[in-house]
Amino acid sequence: MIQNQFVVTKVGQCENSMDAFQLRTDRGNQSLGSKPEPRTGVGVLERYVRLDALGPNDEQNGDECPLLPSKAGRKRNLADAAAFLEFTLER
């Protein structure tokens, strides 16, 4: 599976980082397979944000928001999702 191939490229990272890569690629797969299917890379990343970074009512701030826009975690999540998407397209 392409997801496993991508995670293997990250070998050498600490166990927590490997778990994080696995989680982010799982979320990337979820974004790719969601309905209606995104037709562009930007659409996939927008869906990723909507599914995994925004609160239940699409709020970007507050207690319900899992990834706040000002935090490094959101940037890291999107960067990893973009890297996974690029890896997938190359293969």
Structure confidence at residue 24 (pLDDT):
83
For residue 76, being part of any structural domain is answered with: yes
Work out the mean pLDDT of the chain and round it to a whole number: 79
Residue-wise pLDDT for 35-53, tens only, equals 888 888 888 888 888 777 7
Structure confidence at residue 66 (pLDDT):
63
Q: Report the sign of the C-alpha dihedral through residues 48, 53, 56, 58, in that order.
A: negative
Distance, CA of 41 to CA of 47 (rounded, Å): 10
For residue 62, being part of any structural domain is answered with: yes
Q: 59: which residues sit within 8 A by CB, 6+ positions away?
A: 65
Q: For residue 29, what pLDDT band results from cuts at 50, 70 and 90?
A: confident
72: domain range? 15-90
For residue 27, being part of any structural domain is answered with: yes
For residue 3, being part of any structural domain is answered with: no
Residue 54 has pLDDT above 80, yes or no: no
Report how many domains make up the chain.
1
Q: 15: which residues sit within 8 A by CB, 6+ positions away?
A: none
Structure confidence at residue 73 (pLDDT):
74
For residue 30, being part of any structural domain is answered with: yes
For residue 20, being part of any structural domain is answered with: yes
For residue 7, being part of any structural domain is answered with: no
For residue 6, being part of any structural domain is answered with: no
Residue 61 has pLDDT above 70, yes or no: no
Residue 4 has pLDDT above 70, yes or no: yes
